[in-house]
A and B are shown apart, each in its own frame.
Chain A
C-alpha cells in the first residue's frame, strides 16, 4: 500500500525536514550505525531526525549534582540526558534529572522581581524593575553595614554548594561582613556529619560499591534518594547483579532499596543503634575483629589514653560492649538475636564489606551515637577508607577568585545554633530553631531576613509556627525570598528576587566521586534566562558594587571562567573553553584514594614554627592557626581545650611515627578515628558509642504509632513538584499503614484518616500495605503543596501564564498532604539534628 501524502503545510514542513535530516545524517548513519553505542550522549529529533544541540551542564534537582547534557531544539531545551564522560554517573541520569526540563518552562515561574503590596502574606504583589528592587535592598543592607550592624542581615540558604557557596558566602557575604548565615544541614543529615567529625573528622562517607562484597544498610534509601544518588545507585545495582553482592537493609518500611536488597529487616524506629552495638558486641565476643579489624585499631582511639596498645583497646571495647548483647537488642529493636548474630558474623567475615547509613539512622534523638556506632562497626571489621568499604570522600578542589583582600571581621547574631543547652555540638547549626530564636529575640533579631533556595515554612517542622513568625512584621522588618518559584515561603516575603533556574546558570561543581577519583565539572546555561530572571550570583556582584565594595569580578560566568583557568589540571586541560565544550574533567592518571590516613608526615612539617606536640592526645598542631595567643597558653590549655586548635592540626603521633591520620574538622578531636571521644565525655555523654533510648518512645500508649517520613525516587524535597513529568508519576502521598493496624482502626484502602500529634492534626489518605511495620506509619514529605504552581498545587503563581497546553491535560487534582504540620522541631541533644523520624502520633478514620 502506498503512503498517502496529505498536503497540509504541517506535513509539507515535516517531510522537508525529514529528508533534509536524512540527507544530512545520511553519512553518519552508515558510519555510526555499525555498532549502536551503549552511551552516546547524543539526541535526535524524533520527527525530523536532526541531531539536537548538546550543551554539557550539571543537574541540580538534588544535591548530587550529576553532570548532564541539555539537548536544545530550535532554541528550546527539550531533553536532558546523562553525561557519558562522567566517571561518577557513567552517562546515567535519574528520573528527576530528566524531569528538570520543566524547571525552565514551568508556567508559574516568577519572571520578574515582585514587591509586596498590602499586608505580608496577603499574596498581593506588584511588578518592580530590578533597579527599584536592588535600590531598596542595597539601601537597607548598606545602612546596616554603615551603622556597624552587618549581622542584622541574615542570609539563610538551603541548597548552596561549590561556586555558588564560594561566590555568595566566602566572597560576597564575607566582604559585607555578616556571619549570620544559616543553612539547612541540620534538617538534612547534619547529625551524621557531626558524628563523623567527632570520629574521623571531615565529613562525608563514600561507599565503594565497585569493590565491595557485602553491603549492610541502616536507614539509607540510596536506590531512591541519597546525596550521591545516581553515581552510587547505578554502581550498587551493578554490584548486586554482576557480582552477587549480598545486601541487608534495615528500614522501618519496604523502601525500593529494601525491596532490591537480599534481605529487608524491619526495625523499630530509632533503634538501629542497639542493633549495631549488639553486632559490635558479637564481633568482639567472638574475636571476629582479628585481622583487618585488629590492624585498623592502631588508628583508633578507644580509651582516653593517647598511646593505648591494641590489646588494651580490645579489652576496652569488649568491656564496653559486654552490656549490649543481641538478646538485649532484640527487646529494644524487635530484630531477633539470632538474626543480629547471623548478620554480625557475615559482616565481619566477608571482606571487604561496606557499612552504609543515612537519615533513617540519624534523624533521631540518638542519631549521633547510632552513626558513631556505625563507625565503630566498620572500624572493628577493618572496613574504613579501604577498597570496598566506607571511605573518606574525595571531591574536586577548585581554586577561585577570593574577592577583596581586606574583608572585615564578620559579626553574627547568636541565633543559628538554637537555645542554650539544646545541643552540645551543633556543628551544622540548628536551622529548625532559627525562627523560634528570632521570636524569642534574646539573642537579637535580623532586620533583613533573606532566604535562598530554601523554604523555611515548608522544609522545617511545625509549619504553622513558621508561618506565624515569618508573617509577623514586628519580628522581622524585611523579608526577601530568592527563588524562581512561588513557594509557600515566598508568600511571606516583602521582596521576591527571581533567580535563574539551574539550567540558566554558571557554576563549577565538586560533588563527591563514588570511585575515589575527583571529578571537576561545570554547570552552564543551556538556554537564555526567561523573562527578567537573573542568576543571584550575578545579582550579588551588582549589590556589592552598589554598596561600594566591588568583588573584583562582575558575573558568575567571570568567576567560573577565572576558576577554570586557575585550577591545576583543569587549567592545563584547556581551562574554561575546555570545560564549556566537555563539561567534565578528571585526572586520567589519578589513582583512587584509599587509606589516606596512613600517609606519613615528614619531619620538616613537624618542625615548622608553631608546631607543637600535645602529649595528652599525641597531636602535632600549629598553635598559630588556633585562637591561642601564645605558645605558653597553647601548651597550658592543650590541644583539646584551645579554641579552634583543630585548624592547626598537622599530624597524629602513633608509636614513633607521625601520620596524616583522620584530620579533624569543626571540633578539636585528635588524628585518631575516635571511637572514644573525650569531647563528648566532657559534655556528659558516653565517650564510647552508647544506646540512648528516645524519650517519647519509652511510654507510648497502646494505640499510638510512630510517624516516619521518607523520600521517593521521582521527587526531590519540595522542589520538583512543578515538574509535570515527575508529578504525573507521583502526585499523592497517602500514609502507608499496615493492614493489621488499619483493620484495628476500621481503616481501609483510600480512606481519609486523621493523624494527630501533640502539635495538631492533619487529614490524609490511607495506603494500606504490608510493606510497613504495624507500629509505624510513613508519609513522604514531598507533597502537600498549597503553592508552587499549578502542577504542584493547582494554584496559579502571581506571574503565571496560560500558554502551556499541557495544563489542560493535567489529570490529577490530588496534591497530597504535607506531614510537617504535625512534626515538631526538636534536636538531637548532641548534634542538633532535627529529629524527623521520632514523632509519635495517633491515627483514626476521618
Chain B
C-alpha cells in the first residue's frame, strides 16, 4: 500500500525518465540506487541503432516484433521495411531498407510540440512521447522528416518507436533487434567508444537518412540503398514499396 502511495506521486513521465536512469547507470559502476541518478550526470548515454543492410534479408521479423511488442493497431507502424527494386531484367536488384524513428539529435518533432509531450530523454537520448500529456495535435507528425510518427487511435496520443526503452532499461535488447534474422540491427550506446555499435560505425562507411534535414539521426546504416523513385532517371526502373498502409515512401 505504501508503494501505492509513493506511486501516485510518480507520473508515467517519471517512469519514462527514471527507467532510463538505470541504463545510464549501467555505463558507470552502479552501487546503490541512490548513486544511480548521480551517476547519470557523469556520462550521458546516447542510444543508437546501426542497420547493416548487407545482412538484412527483408524478412519483416522486425516489423512484426514491433507490432506485437506494443500491440500497434492495424494501419500504423513504428517499424517497417522498404523494398527498393531497381534495374531491368536480368540485371535487377532488390535492396531492403528497414525504417524506424531516428531518435534525432535535433528532433524537429520535439521543437514543434506545443505541450512538451514529446521530448528527448537527457539520460540516453531516446526521443519519447508521454501519452498522458500529448493532445494529438499531429504537429510532430508533420514535422518529422521520416514519417516515423502516427496517432495511436487507442490513446489518442502521438506514437512511434521508442527504442524499446522498457526492455533496454532492463537489460534486454529492443524487440526488433533480438529477433532480427540477419543480425542486421545493432543497438547500443553511441557515446561509449567501446560499444559494438561505436566500433562498427568507426570501422565502416555509414550513412544516415535525409541528412540534409539537419536532424542528425542516431540510426545509422551500412550500405543503405538511398535511391528514390522521385529521383529515377528517364526510363530507369526504381520502385520503392513499404508494405505500410501508406504504400509509397513519404
Contact = CB atoms under 8 A, between A and B. Distances in A.
Verify whether A and B have any Cβ pair under 8 Å: yes
Given A30-B36, A98-B61, A20 B7 contact: yes
Given A36-B171, A264-B90, A44 B64 contact: no
Contacts of A806: 73-74
A338 interface: no
Contact of B243 (A21, A23, A81, A729): A729
Which of B10, B172, B182 counts the most A-chain CB atoms under 10 A from its CB? Answer: B172
Interface string B85-97: 1011110111100
Contacts of A234: 181-183
A772 interface: yes
Interface residues on A, range: 35 or more
Interface stretch (B13-21, B139-147, B212-220): B13-21
Interface string A796-814: 0000000000100111000
A266 B65 CA distance: 33
Interface in B57-104: 57-61, 63-65, 67-71, 73-75, 85, 87-90, 92-95
Contacts of B187: 36
A92 interface: yes
B166 A3 contact: no
A78 B58 contact: no
A4 interface: yes
B89 A726 contact: no
B26 A266 contact: no
A791 B175 CA distance: 25
Contacts of A15: 7-8, 10-12, 15
Contact of A28 (B25, B67, B170): B170
B7 to A, nearest CB: 4
Contacts of B19: 22, 29, 49
Interface in A247-266: 254, 256, 259-260, 264, 266
A78 B71 CA distance: 8
B178 A728 contact: no
Contacts of A312: none
Interface residues of B, number: 77
A79 interface: yes
B78 to A, nearest CB: 11
A223 B166 contact: no
Contacts of A12: 8
A78 B70 CA distance: 9
Which of A45, A81, A224 counts the most B-chain CB atoms under 10 A from its CB? Answer: A81
A230 B25 CA distance: 35
Contact of B15 (A22, A33, A237): A22
Interface string A50-68: 0100000000000000000
A770 interface: yes
Contacts of A94: 59, 61, 181
B22 A223 contact: no
A82 B172 CA distance: 13
Interface in A1-30: 1, 3-6, 11-12, 14-16, 18-23, 25-26, 28-30
B6 A19 contact: yes
Which of A81, A101, A254, A729 counts the most B-chain CB atoms under 10 A from its CB? Answer: A729
B239 A40 contact: no
B237 A224 contact: no
B64 A29 contact: no
Interface string B145-189: 000000001000000001010111111110100111111100110
Interface string B218-231: 00000000000000
5 contacts: A19-B7, A95-B60, A237-B55, A266-B90, A725-B67
Given A82-B178, A769-B239, 4 more contacts: A1-B116, A36-B26, A92-B180, A726-B64
Interface of B: 3-4, 6-8, 10-15, 18-19, 22-23, 25-26, 30, 33, 36, 52, 54-55, 57-61, 63-65, 67-71, 73-75, 85, 87-90, 92-95, 116, 130, 132-133, 153, 162, 164, 166-173, 175, 178-184, 187-188, 237, 239, 243, 245
In the complex, the 6 A-B pairs of residues with the closest C-beta atoms, listed nearest first: A32-B171, A29-B22, A19-B7, A40-B172, A3-B13, A18-B15
